[in-house]
Amino acid sequence: MSRKLARPRDGRMIAGVCAGLARRFGLSTGLVRLLFVLSVILPGPQVLLYIALWIILPNEDHQQAYVAH
């Protein structure tokens, strides 16, 4: 069973983007959050990418409801 990329309802700190990425790729949620925070120190569009994923990724509940139909 493949895990779909979605923002979980539980384990969120802000929007659930890091938690969703961690679950999808089988990583620790804390590790993904730490990597994101460290990446913000570097120049680049990390915050914009986070906001885009927040908008694009569905909530876990909505995705499960869609698959059930």
Which band of pLDDT confidence, cut at 50, 70 and 90, is reported for residue 64?
Answer: low
Could you please report the per-residue DSSP string of 8-69?
Answer: -SSS-SSSSHHHHHHHHHT--HHHHHHHHHHHHHSSSSHHHHHHHHHHHSPBHHHHHHHHH-
Which band of pLDDT confidence, cut at 50, 70 and 90, is reported for residue 67?
Answer: low
Q: How confident is the model over 17-60, as pLDDT tens digits? A: 999 999 999 999 999 999 999 999 999 999 999 999 999 999 98
Assess if residue 49 is contained within a domain: yes
pLDDT of residue 24: 93
pTM of the entire predicted model = 0.78
Assess if residue 11 is contained within a domain: no
What domain count does the chain have? 1
Query: Sign of the C-alpha dihedral, residues 51, 11, 25, 36?
Result: positive
Q: In terms of residue numbers, what domain contains 62? A: 17-68
Assess if residue 7 is contained within a domain: no
In whole angstroms, give the CA distance from residue 49 to residue 68.
Answer: 29
Assess if residue 5 is contained within a domain: no
pLDDT of residue 62: 54
